[in-house]
Amino acid sequence: MDFLISAIVNLVVSALILIVVDRLNLGLSVGGFMNAVIAAIGIAIANFIVLWLVTAAGLDLSDNNMIVAAIVYLLVAAAGIWLASIFLPGFSTDGFTGAIVAAIAIAVIVWIVDFVIAMFQ
């Protein structure tokens, strides 16, 4: 039951982050909350597939190469956002460059949210 609640909270937070990035005009456009929820699911699935392909290709993402791993994870997130925008109606990006900008913005917002939550624990 805890997993289900955690997944729902993550989904809602991800959708809200997508809406914030949309309102800041940082490379992506979401048509509303339900589109943001569907986009969050689509991005998660696309990220899983792209990350699986990257690791299946033999790229080492261990902590030994943190800068390389960070760049790869950024590109994987951007690819996931871009792929989701191709297949999901109501969700679009300004090309792959817009997806990279959106991925950076999402990472910064997630970092801020994690920082604020950690202050209250």
Residue 39 burial (C-beta neighbours within 10 Å; 0-12, 13-18, 19+): buried
Is the pLDDT at 17 greater than 70? The verdict is yes
Range of the domain at 103: 2-119
How far is Cα 17 from Cα 114, in angstroms, rounded to an integer? 12
DSSP β-bridge partners for residue 91: 30
pTM of the model: 0.80
**Number of domains comprising the chain:** 1
Query: Average pLDDT, whole number, for the chain?
Result: 86
Is the pLDDT at 30 greater than 90? The verdict is yes
Q: How confident is the model over 61-87, as pLDDT tens digits?
A: 666 677 877 888 888 889 889 988 998
In the chain, alpha helices (H):
2-23, 33-56, 66-87, 95-119
Q: Angle formed by the axes of helices 2-23 and 33-56, to 10°? A: 110
